[in-house]
Amino acid sequence: MKTALITIGSTREYIDPVRYISNESSGKQGISLIKGLLKKNYKIICLHGYLKVKPIISRKIKYIFTPNAKSMLQEAKKNYKVDIAIFNAAVSDFYVKSFSKNKIKSKKGLTLQLINNPDILKSICSSQKKPLITVGFAYETNNYLDNAKKKLENKKCDFIVLNYPLKNDFIFNNNFNNGGILDKQGNYYEIGNVSKTVFANKIIKHILEI
């Protein structure tokens, strides 16, 4: 049986015990991808951040909770021996330089120094010990295709799934997605505006066919 590694959901970086930096990702697209991989009879290792949807329970799925970028990278490095790796998580780009163990008292304003988190996708794809096929995601609001191409080159993955918003539509935490998939040869396959289930199945079919 083939194995897939997938990162899903949003990561958090805590400022103090009750406050954090994160993003809008719900994990819906990630769960749809897991369903699609199960249909193709894959065993799945899922590194998940925070989810707003219920995970699927199956003996074929191993869930590992990775609340922040550093723990997600650590687990990805341990689980690189897979046939396909899909990096769908919305990783918080920054962590706070000085985490406060005590709750910060409210006062006039607060300045935080933010440090760049490790790039999990790039780090795994740049390593010699890497999965057979690697897939990243790119959410872009302008120059969609150019930005996605740059991301694919920079991160050294085999495919980039491009997501871009429709006029007034916000694709995070929504049942629909919009976009397509780009490969290293520069071929772009547009999927369009479809449900996250259809989007996931089309991505998986496209990757596995190639």
Residue environment code for 77-93, b if the CB has 16+ CB neighbours within 10 A, otherwise e: eebbebebbbbbbbbbe
Report if residue 87 touches ligand CTP, rule: CB under 6 A.
yes
Instruction: State phi, psi for 43 to the nearest 5 degrees.
Output: -90, 140
Q: How far is the CB of 135 from ligand CTP (least distance, A)?
A: 8
Taking the alpha carbons at both ends of the chain, their separation in whole angstroms is: 19
Q: Which residues, in sequence order, are bridge partners of residue 197?
A: none
By the rule CB under 6 A, 119 interacts with ligand CTP: yes
Q: Which of 15, 91, 125, 204 is in the footprint of ligand CTP by CB under 6 A? A: 91
User: How near is the Cβ of 137 to ligand CTP at its closest, in Å?
Assistant: 4
120 binds ligand CTP (CB under 6 A): yes
Q: Which of 93, 156, 172, 198 binds ligand CTP (CB under 6 A)?
A: 93
For β-strands 159-163 and 176-183, DSSP reports them as: antiparallel
Residues 147-206 that bind ligand CTP (CB under 6 A): 151
* Per CB under 6 A, 121 contacts ligand CTP: yes
Task: Report the nearest approach of ligand CTP to the CB of residue 3 (Å).
Answer: 19
Beta-bridge partner residues of 8: 48
Q: Near ligand CTP by CB under 6 A, which window of 59-67, 85-93, 97-105, 174-182? A: 85-93
Number of residues that this document lists for the chain: 210
Query: Which of 62, 122 has the CB closer to ligand CTP?
Result: 122
d(CA 88, CA 200): 11
Candidate segments 25-33, 55-63, 101-109, 115-123, binder of ligand CTP by CB under 6 A: 115-123
Question: Mind spelling out the 3-state secondary structure of 136-190?
Answer: EEEECCCCHHHHHHHHHHHHCCCEEEEECCCCCCCCCCCCEEEEEEEECCCCEEE
Chain contacts with ligand CTP (rule: CB under 6 A): 7, 69, 87, 89, 91, 93, 117, 119-121, 136-139, 151
